[in-house]
Structure 1
Protein backbone atom coordinates (compact mmCIF):
# COMPACT_ATOMS: atom_id res chain seq x y z
CA UNK A 1 0.00 0.00 0.00
CA UNK A 2 1.39 3.39 -1.00
CA UNK A 3 1.85 5.83 1.85
CA UNK A 4 -0.05 9.08 1.40
CA UNK A 5 2.04 12.20 0.86
CA UNK A 6 1.51 14.74 3.67
CA UNK A 7 -0.41 17.83 2.64
CA UNK A 8 2.57 20.04 3.46
CA UNK A 9 4.74 17.90 1.16
CA UNK A 10 2.24 18.19 -1.69
CA UNK A 11 2.11 21.96 -1.24
CA UNK A 12 5.91 22.14 -1.31
CA UNK A 13 6.04 20.12 -4.52
CA UNK A 14 3.45 22.38 -6.13
CA UNK A 15 5.44 25.44 -5.12
CA UNK A 16 8.67 23.96 -6.51
CA UNK A 17 6.88 23.13 -9.74
CA UNK A 18 5.57 26.70 -9.99
CA UNK A 19 9.07 28.08 -9.46
CA UNK A 20 10.49 25.78 -12.13
CA UNK A 21 7.74 26.79 -14.57
CA UNK A 22 8.49 30.48 -13.96
CA UNK A 23 12.23 29.97 -14.30
CA UNK A 24 11.73 28.03 -17.53
CA UNK A 25 9.65 30.83 -19.03
CA UNK A 26 11.98 33.64 -17.95
CA UNK A 27 15.22 31.84 -18.86
CA UNK A 28 13.85 30.95 -22.30
CA UNK A 29 12.73 34.54 -22.84
CA UNK A 30 15.79 36.42 -21.60
CA UNK A 31 18.61 33.94 -20.99
CA UNK A 32 20.28 33.00 -17.72
CA UNK A 33 22.31 36.10 -16.97
CA UNK A 34 19.51 38.64 -17.55
CA UNK A 35 17.13 36.99 -15.08
CA UNK A 36 17.45 37.37 -11.30
CA UNK A 37 16.07 35.19 -8.54
CA UNK A 38 13.86 38.11 -7.54
CA UNK A 39 12.43 38.16 -11.09
CA UNK A 40 11.62 34.45 -10.84
CA UNK A 41 10.15 34.78 -7.36
CA UNK A 42 7.88 37.64 -8.44
CA UNK A 43 6.76 35.71 -11.52
CA UNK A 44 5.94 32.70 -9.33
CA UNK A 45 4.07 34.84 -6.80
CA UNK A 46 6.63 34.33 -4.04
CA UNK A 47 9.01 36.42 -2.01
CA UNK A 48 12.73 36.17 -2.62
CA UNK A 49 13.11 34.40 0.73
CA UNK A 50 10.28 32.04 -0.17
CA UNK A 51 12.07 30.97 -3.35
CA UNK A 52 15.35 30.45 -1.49
CA UNK A 53 13.52 28.08 0.85
CA UNK A 54 13.15 25.70 -2.12
CA UNK A 55 16.27 26.45 -4.19
CA UNK A 56 19.60 27.62 -2.74
CA UNK A 57 20.61 29.72 -5.76
CA UNK A 58 20.12 30.52 -9.42
CA UNK A 59 22.75 28.05 -10.63
CA UNK A 60 20.97 25.17 -8.89
CA UNK A 61 17.62 26.34 -10.20
CA UNK A 62 18.87 26.39 -13.79
CA UNK A 63 20.20 22.84 -13.57
CA UNK A 64 16.89 21.69 -12.05
CA UNK A 65 14.99 23.31 -14.94
CA UNK A 66 17.16 21.57 -17.53
CA UNK A 67 17.15 18.23 -15.72
CA UNK A 68 13.36 18.19 -15.38
CA UNK A 69 12.93 18.23 -19.15
CA UNK A 70 15.57 15.54 -19.60
CA UNK A 71 13.74 13.31 -17.11
CA UNK A 72 10.49 13.70 -19.07
CA UNK A 73 12.27 12.89 -22.35
CA UNK A 74 13.96 9.86 -20.79
CA UNK A 75 10.60 8.43 -19.65
CA UNK A 76 9.17 8.92 -23.13
CA UNK A 77 12.15 7.25 -24.80
CA UNK A 78 12.22 4.27 -22.42
CA UNK A 79 8.48 3.66 -22.73
CA UNK A 80 6.52 1.17 -20.61
CA UNK A 81 8.47 -1.88 -21.76
CA UNK A 82 12.06 -0.57 -21.55
CA UNK A 83 12.94 -3.15 -24.24
CA UNK A 84 11.99 -1.43 -27.46
CA UNK A 85 13.84 -2.41 -30.62
CA UNK A 86 15.94 0.05 -32.67
CA UNK A 87 13.13 0.77 -35.13
CA UNK A 88 10.72 1.70 -32.34
CA UNK A 89 13.36 3.81 -30.61
CA UNK A 90 13.96 5.69 -33.86
CA UNK A 91 10.23 6.41 -34.13
CA UNK A 92 10.30 7.75 -30.57
CA UNK A 93 13.18 10.07 -31.47
CA UNK A 94 11.19 11.41 -34.42
CA UNK A 95 8.06 11.76 -32.28
CA UNK A 96 10.11 13.74 -29.75
CA UNK A 97 11.10 16.18 -32.50
CA UNK A 98 7.39 16.56 -33.33
CA UNK A 99 6.52 17.14 -29.67
CA UNK A 100 9.15 19.86 -29.49
CA UNK A 101 7.15 21.75 -32.10
CA UNK A 102 4.41 22.08 -29.48
CA UNK A 103 6.73 23.46 -26.76
CA UNK A 104 8.45 26.56 -28.17
CA UNK A 105 9.32 27.83 -24.70
CA UNK A 106 11.40 24.77 -23.85
CA UNK A 107 13.02 24.70 -27.28
CA UNK A 108 13.93 28.36 -26.85
CA UNK A 109 15.37 27.62 -23.42
CA UNK A 110 17.73 24.95 -24.73
CA UNK A 111 18.79 27.03 -27.73
CA UNK A 112 19.49 30.11 -25.63
CA UNK A 113 21.12 28.46 -22.62
CA UNK A 114 23.24 25.98 -24.62
CA UNK A 115 24.70 28.91 -26.54
CA UNK A 116 25.51 30.78 -23.34
CA UNK A 117 26.94 27.59 -21.81
CA UNK A 118 29.75 27.43 -24.38
CA UNK A 119 31.53 29.68 -21.86
CA UNK A 120 33.38 27.32 -19.47
CA UNK A 121 32.47 29.62 -16.59
CA UNK A 122 28.74 29.29 -17.22
CA UNK A 123 26.96 27.20 -14.54
CA UNK A 124 25.38 24.95 -17.18
CA UNK A 125 28.64 24.33 -19.09
CA UNK A 126 29.37 20.90 -17.58
CA UNK A 127 25.70 19.95 -17.83
CA UNK A 128 25.65 20.51 -21.60
CA UNK A 129 29.05 18.86 -22.14
CA UNK A 130 27.78 15.72 -20.42
CA UNK A 131 24.40 15.93 -22.14
CA UNK A 132 25.92 16.06 -25.63
CA UNK A 133 28.32 13.24 -24.82
CA UNK A 134 25.36 11.13 -23.71
CA UNK A 135 23.29 12.04 -26.78
CA UNK A 136 26.15 11.25 -29.16
CA UNK A 137 26.69 7.89 -27.52
CA UNK A 138 23.02 6.97 -27.57
CA UNK A 139 22.54 8.13 -31.17
CA UNK A 140 25.67 6.29 -32.35
CA UNK A 141 24.47 3.04 -30.75
CA UNK A 142 21.00 3.41 -32.27
CA UNK A 143 22.30 4.24 -35.73
CA UNK A 144 24.81 1.37 -35.63
CA UNK A 145 21.98 -1.04 -34.79
CA UNK A 146 19.82 0.31 -37.61
CA UNK A 147 22.62 0.33 -40.20
CA UNK A 148 23.40 -3.33 -39.40
CA UNK A 149 19.87 -4.26 -40.48
CA UNK A 150 20.11 -2.61 -43.90
CA UNK A 151 21.00 -4.79 -46.91
CA UNK A 152 23.52 -4.05 -48.24
CA UNK A 153 25.03 -2.19 -45.25
CA UNK A 154 25.26 1.53 -46.09
CA UNK A 155 28.82 1.88 -44.79
CA UNK A 156 28.18 5.04 -42.76
CA UNK A 157 30.19 5.82 -39.62
CA UNK A 158 27.56 5.77 -36.83
CA UNK A 159 29.55 8.18 -34.66
CA UNK A 160 29.91 10.76 -37.43
CA UNK A 161 26.25 10.45 -38.43
CA UNK A 162 25.20 10.81 -34.78
CA UNK A 163 27.00 14.16 -34.62
CA UNK A 164 25.35 15.22 -37.89
CA UNK A 165 21.88 14.24 -36.67
CA UNK A 166 22.26 16.16 -33.40
CA UNK A 167 23.64 19.18 -35.26
CA UNK A 168 20.71 19.00 -37.69
CA UNK A 169 18.14 18.98 -34.89
CA UNK A 170 19.85 21.84 -33.06
CA UNK A 171 20.06 23.94 -36.23
CA UNK A 172 16.45 23.22 -37.14
CA UNK A 173 15.33 24.36 -33.70
CA UNK A 174 16.96 27.77 -34.18
CA UNK A 175 15.44 28.19 -37.66
CA UNK A 176 12.03 27.05 -36.39
CA UNK A 177 12.06 29.54 -33.53
CA UNK A 178 12.82 32.33 -36.01
CA UNK A 179 10.26 31.28 -38.64
CA UNK A 180 8.06 28.40 -37.44
CA UNK A 181 5.71 28.49 -40.42
CA UNK A 182 8.62 27.84 -42.80
CA UNK A 183 10.35 24.98 -40.95
CA UNK A 184 8.96 21.49 -40.34
CA UNK A 185 11.53 19.94 -38.03
CA UNK A 186 10.01 16.48 -38.09
CA UNK A 187 9.86 16.29 -41.88
CA UNK A 188 13.47 17.46 -42.19
CA UNK A 189 14.73 14.83 -39.75
CA UNK A 190 12.78 12.10 -41.56
CA UNK A 191 14.24 13.22 -44.91
CA UNK A 192 17.77 13.12 -43.50
CA UNK A 193 17.31 9.60 -42.11
CA UNK A 194 15.88 8.35 -45.41
CA UNK A 195 18.90 9.74 -47.24
CA UNK A 196 20.98 7.43 -45.04
CA UNK A 197 19.04 4.44 -46.37
CA UNK A 198 16.84 3.95 -43.32
CA UNK A 199 13.19 2.99 -43.69
CA UNK A 200 11.34 5.70 -41.77
CA UNK A 201 7.53 5.98 -41.92
CA UNK A 202 6.22 9.40 -42.87
CA UNK A 203 3.77 9.63 -39.99
CA UNK A 204 1.35 12.50 -39.75
CA UNK A 205 2.17 16.16 -39.97
CA UNK A 206 2.10 18.17 -36.75
CA UNK A 207 0.07 21.39 -36.61
CA UNK A 208 2.01 24.62 -36.27
CA UNK A 209 2.05 25.81 -32.66
CA UNK A 210 1.68 29.44 -31.68
CA UNK A 211 4.99 31.26 -31.93
CA UNK A 212 6.40 32.39 -28.57
CA UNK A 213 6.09 36.10 -27.95
Structure 2
Protein backbone atom coordinates (compact mmCIF):
# COMPACT_ATOMS: atom_id res chain seq x y z
CA UNK A 1 0.00 0.00 0.00
CA UNK A 2 2.81 2.42 0.92
CA UNK A 3 4.54 1.68 -2.38
CA UNK A 4 1.37 2.46 -4.29
CA UNK A 5 0.98 5.77 -2.53
CA UNK A 6 4.58 6.77 -3.28
CA UNK A 7 4.30 7.12 -7.08
CA UNK A 8 0.88 8.73 -6.67
CA UNK A 9 2.32 11.33 -4.30
CA UNK A 10 5.24 12.00 -6.65
CA UNK A 11 2.79 12.42 -9.53
CA UNK A 12 0.71 14.93 -7.56
CA UNK A 13 3.81 16.85 -6.55
CA UNK A 14 5.05 16.97 -10.15
CA UNK A 15 1.65 18.15 -11.34
CA UNK A 16 1.59 20.86 -8.66
CA UNK A 17 5.10 21.96 -9.66
CA UNK A 18 4.02 22.25 -13.30
CA UNK A 19 0.98 24.35 -12.36
CA UNK A 20 3.08 26.64 -10.14
CA UNK A 21 5.72 27.12 -12.87
CA UNK A 22 3.07 27.78 -15.50
CA UNK A 23 1.31 30.30 -13.23
CA UNK A 24 4.60 32.16 -12.71
CA UNK A 25 5.40 32.14 -16.43
CA UNK A 26 1.88 33.20 -17.43
CA UNK A 27 2.08 36.03 -14.88
CA UNK A 28 5.31 37.33 -16.42
CA UNK A 29 4.93 36.67 -20.15
CA UNK A 30 1.21 36.00 -20.52
CA UNK A 31 -0.54 32.84 -21.66
CA UNK A 32 -0.13 33.27 -25.41
CA UNK A 33 3.58 34.07 -25.22
CA UNK A 34 4.40 30.97 -23.16
CA UNK A 35 5.08 27.70 -24.98
CA UNK A 36 4.82 24.16 -23.68
CA UNK A 37 8.42 23.58 -24.83
CA UNK A 38 9.60 26.52 -22.75
CA UNK A 39 7.80 25.23 -19.66
CA UNK A 40 9.19 21.74 -20.11
CA UNK A 41 12.75 23.11 -20.36
CA UNK A 42 12.32 25.23 -17.24
CA UNK A 43 11.03 22.22 -15.31
CA UNK A 44 13.79 19.95 -16.58
CA UNK A 45 11.40 17.46 -18.16
CA UNK A 46 10.58 16.43 -21.70
CA UNK A 47 7.60 17.84 -23.53
CA UNK A 48 6.21 14.28 -23.48
CA UNK A 49 6.48 14.29 -19.68
CA UNK A 50 4.59 17.57 -19.57
CA UNK A 51 1.90 16.27 -21.91
CA UNK A 52 1.52 13.21 -19.68
CA UNK A 53 0.07 15.47 -17.01
CA UNK A 54 -1.60 18.00 -19.32
CA UNK A 55 -2.58 16.69 -22.78
CA UNK A 56 -2.78 20.22 -24.23
CA UNK A 57 -2.01 23.81 -23.42
CA UNK A 58 -5.74 24.35 -22.91
CA UNK A 59 -5.78 21.71 -20.16
CA UNK A 60 -2.83 23.44 -18.48
CA UNK A 61 -4.59 26.79 -18.83
CA UNK A 62 -7.62 25.38 -17.03
CA UNK A 63 -5.51 23.89 -14.22
CA UNK A 64 -3.65 27.17 -13.68
CA UNK A 65 -6.92 29.10 -13.72
CA UNK A 66 -8.44 26.80 -11.10
CA UNK A 67 -5.32 27.18 -8.95
CA UNK A 68 -5.41 30.96 -9.37
CA UNK A 69 -9.09 31.13 -8.43
CA UNK A 70 -8.43 29.07 -5.31
CA UNK A 71 -5.57 31.35 -4.27
CA UNK A 72 -7.56 34.53 -4.89
CA UNK A 73 -10.35 33.32 -2.59
CA UNK A 74 -8.06 34.18 0.33
CA UNK A 75 -8.02 37.80 -0.84
CA UNK A 76 -11.73 37.99 -0.06
CA UNK A 77 -11.44 36.69 3.50
CA UNK A 78 -11.96 40.20 4.88
CA UNK A 79 -15.53 40.17 3.54
CA UNK A 80 -17.78 38.57 6.16
CA UNK A 81 -21.54 38.62 6.85
CA UNK A 82 -20.83 41.56 9.18
CA UNK A 83 -19.06 43.64 6.50
CA UNK A 84 -20.79 46.86 5.55
CA UNK A 85 -21.66 47.59 1.93
CA UNK A 86 -18.93 50.23 1.85
CA UNK A 87 -16.34 47.76 3.15
CA UNK A 88 -17.30 45.30 0.41
CA UNK A 89 -16.78 47.93 -2.29
CA UNK A 90 -13.44 48.97 -0.78
CA UNK A 91 -12.30 45.35 -0.68
CA UNK A 92 -13.18 44.88 -4.35
CA UNK A 93 -10.97 47.87 -5.18
CA UNK A 94 -8.11 46.44 -3.10
CA UNK A 95 -8.45 43.06 -4.85
CA UNK A 96 -7.99 44.83 -8.19
CA UNK A 97 -4.72 46.26 -6.85
CA UNK A 98 -3.67 42.74 -5.85
CA UNK A 99 -4.48 41.43 -9.33
CA UNK A 100 -2.19 44.06 -10.80
CA UNK A 101 0.77 42.65 -8.86
CA UNK A 102 0.51 39.68 -11.26
CA UNK A 103 -0.68 41.29 -14.49
CA UNK A 104 -0.17 38.21 -16.63
CA UNK A 105 -2.80 36.43 -14.58
CA UNK A 106 -5.39 39.06 -15.49
CA UNK A 107 -4.74 38.19 -19.12
CA UNK A 108 -4.98 34.54 -18.13
CA UNK A 109 -8.44 35.10 -16.67
CA UNK A 110 -9.54 36.75 -19.92
CA UNK A 111 -8.12 33.83 -21.92
CA UNK A 112 -9.99 31.33 -19.71
CA UNK A 113 -13.24 33.26 -20.16
CA UNK A 114 -12.77 33.13 -23.94
CA UNK A 115 -12.05 29.41 -23.80
CA UNK A 116 -15.05 28.83 -21.53
CA UNK A 117 -17.42 30.41 -24.04
CA UNK A 118 -17.24 27.09 -25.91
CA UNK A 119 -19.67 24.80 -24.07
CA UNK A 120 -17.62 21.79 -25.19
CA UNK A 121 -14.48 23.13 -23.51
CA UNK A 122 -13.39 21.65 -20.17
CA UNK A 123 -13.15 25.26 -18.95
CA UNK A 124 -16.86 25.92 -19.44
CA UNK A 125 -18.28 24.02 -16.47
CA UNK A 126 -15.43 25.04 -14.16
CA UNK A 127 -15.75 28.74 -14.91
CA UNK A 128 -19.54 28.61 -14.80
CA UNK A 129 -19.55 27.00 -11.35
CA UNK A 130 -16.91 29.39 -9.98
CA UNK A 131 -18.74 32.42 -11.39
CA UNK A 132 -21.98 31.20 -9.90
CA UNK A 133 -20.29 30.73 -6.51
CA UNK A 134 -18.81 34.25 -6.57
CA UNK A 135 -22.13 35.84 -7.50
CA UNK A 136 -24.03 33.80 -4.92
CA UNK A 137 -21.60 34.77 -2.17
CA UNK A 138 -21.53 38.46 -3.10
CA UNK A 139 -25.32 38.55 -3.41
CA UNK A 140 -25.70 37.06 0.08
CA UNK A 141 -23.33 39.68 1.51
CA UNK A 142 -25.27 42.54 -0.09
CA UNK A 143 -28.55 40.94 1.04
CA UNK A 144 -27.26 41.10 4.62
CA UNK A 145 -26.41 44.75 4.05
CA UNK A 146 -29.92 45.39 2.72
CA UNK A 147 -31.44 43.71 5.77
CA UNK A 148 -29.48 46.11 7.99
CA UNK A 149 -30.77 49.09 5.99
CA UNK A 150 -27.44 49.95 4.35
CA UNK A 151 -28.67 49.97 0.74
CA UNK A 152 -30.83 52.63 -0.81
CA UNK A 153 -34.54 51.74 -1.18
CA UNK A 154 -35.29 49.52 -4.14
CA UNK A 155 -31.71 48.28 -4.67
CA UNK A 156 -31.68 44.56 -5.52
CA UNK A 157 -28.71 42.73 -3.92
CA UNK A 158 -28.26 40.32 -6.85
CA UNK A 159 -28.35 43.13 -9.41
CA UNK A 160 -25.79 45.05 -7.35
CA UNK A 161 -23.50 42.00 -7.15
CA UNK A 162 -23.71 41.49 -10.92
CA UNK A 163 -22.93 45.14 -11.59
CA UNK A 164 -19.84 45.00 -9.39
CA UNK A 165 -18.55 41.82 -11.04
CA UNK A 166 -19.31 43.20 -14.51
CA UNK A 167 -17.30 46.35 -13.78
CA UNK A 168 -14.31 44.37 -12.57
CA UNK A 169 -14.32 41.76 -15.33
CA UNK A 170 -15.29 44.15 -18.12
CA UNK A 171 -12.48 46.57 -17.33
CA UNK A 172 -9.99 43.71 -17.04
CA UNK A 173 -10.97 42.71 -20.58
CA UNK A 174 -10.50 46.28 -21.82
CA UNK A 175 -7.14 46.49 -20.03
CA UNK A 176 -6.02 43.28 -21.74
CA UNK A 177 -7.17 44.39 -25.19
CA UNK A 178 -5.45 47.76 -24.69
CA UNK A 179 -2.16 45.95 -23.97
CA UNK A 180 -2.11 47.10 -20.32
CA UNK A 181 -2.09 50.78 -21.29
CA UNK A 182 -5.23 51.93 -19.44
CA UNK A 183 -5.43 52.74 -15.73
CA UNK A 184 -7.25 49.61 -14.57
CA UNK A 185 -7.18 50.41 -10.87
CA UNK A 186 -8.28 54.01 -11.39
CA UNK A 187 -11.16 53.02 -13.67
CA UNK A 188 -12.37 50.20 -11.40
CA UNK A 189 -12.13 52.48 -8.36
CA UNK A 190 -14.10 55.28 -10.01
CA UNK A 191 -16.78 52.96 -11.40
CA UNK A 192 -17.30 51.10 -8.12
CA UNK A 193 -17.45 54.37 -6.18
CA UNK A 194 -20.12 55.62 -8.59
CA UNK A 195 -22.07 52.43 -7.95
CA UNK A 196 -21.63 52.91 -4.21
CA UNK A 197 -22.99 56.45 -4.38
CA UNK A 198 -26.02 55.29 -6.38
CA UNK A 199 -26.86 52.20 -4.32
CA UNK A 200 -25.56 52.61 -0.76
CA UNK A 201 -26.91 55.01 1.84
CA UNK A 202 -24.40 57.82 2.54
CA UNK A 203 -23.52 56.76 6.08
CA UNK A 204 -22.48 53.29 4.85
CA UNK A 205 -20.56 54.29 1.72
CA UNK A 206 -16.79 53.74 1.55
CA UNK A 207 -14.79 56.79 2.70
CA UNK A 208 -13.25 56.99 -0.78
CA UNK A 209 -16.70 57.73 -2.25
CA UNK A 210 -17.21 60.90 -0.20
CA UNK A 211 -16.17 63.26 -3.01
CA UNK A 212 -18.61 61.59 -5.39
CA UNK A 213 -21.67 61.64 -3.16
CA UNK A 214 -24.85 63.06 -4.54
CA UNK A 215 -26.99 65.39 -2.39
- Give the alignment of 1:103-118 within 5 angstroms: 103-118=102-117
- Give the alignment of 1:50-61 within 5 angstroms: 50-52=49-51, 55-58=53-56, 59-61=58-60
Match in the other structure for 1:67? 66
Matched-pair contact (CA < 8 Å) for 1:23–1:62: no
Aligned: 1:86 with 2:66: no
- Give the alignment of 1:30-45 within 5 angstroms: 30=32, 37-38=36-37, 40-42=39-41, 44-45=43-44
* SS of 2:24 mapped into structure 1: helix
Give the Cα separation in 1 of the matches to 2:18 and 2:175: 32
Match in the other structure for 2:5? none
Match in the other structure for 1:99? 98
Give the Cα separation in 2 of the matches to 1:118 and 1:57: 20
Higher helix share: 2
Give the Cα separation in 1 of the matches to 2:159 and 2:70: 26
- Give the alignment of 1:121-140 within 5 angstroms: 121-140=120-139
Q: TM-score under structure 2 normalisation? A: 0.71
* Alignment gaps of 5+ in structure 1: 1-7, 204-213
Number of matched pairs: 190
- Give the alignment of 1:137-156 within 5 angstroms: 137-150=136-149, 153-156=152-155
Give the Cα separation in 2 of the matches to 1:160 and 1:107: 24
Give the Cα separation in 2 of the matches to 1:90 and 1:165: 8
- Alpha-carbon distance, 1:126 to partner: 0.8
Match in the other structure for 1:21? 24
Give the Cα separation in 2 of the matches to 1:45 and 1:167: 41
Give the Cα separation in 1 of the matches to 2:31 and 2:70: 22
- Alpha-carbon distance, 1:44 to partner: 4.7
Matched-pair contact (CA < 8 Å) for 2:62–2:112: no
Alpha carbons of structure 1 residues 25 and 113: separation in structure 2 relative to 1, 3 Å: farther
Give the Cα separation in 2 of the matches to 1:40 and 1:93: 33
- Alpha-carbon distance, 1:134 to partner: 0.9
- Alpha-carbon distance, 1:23 to partner: 5.3
Give the Cα separation in 2 of the matches to 1:165 and 1:195: 12
Match in the other structure for 1:175? 174
Aligned: 1:188 with 2:205: no
Alpha carbons of structure 1 residues 125 and 25: separation in structure 2 relative to 1, 3 Å: farther
Q: TM-score under structure 1 normalisation? A: 0.71
Alpha carbons of structure 1 residues 83 and 173: separation in structure 2 relative to 1, 3 Å: closer
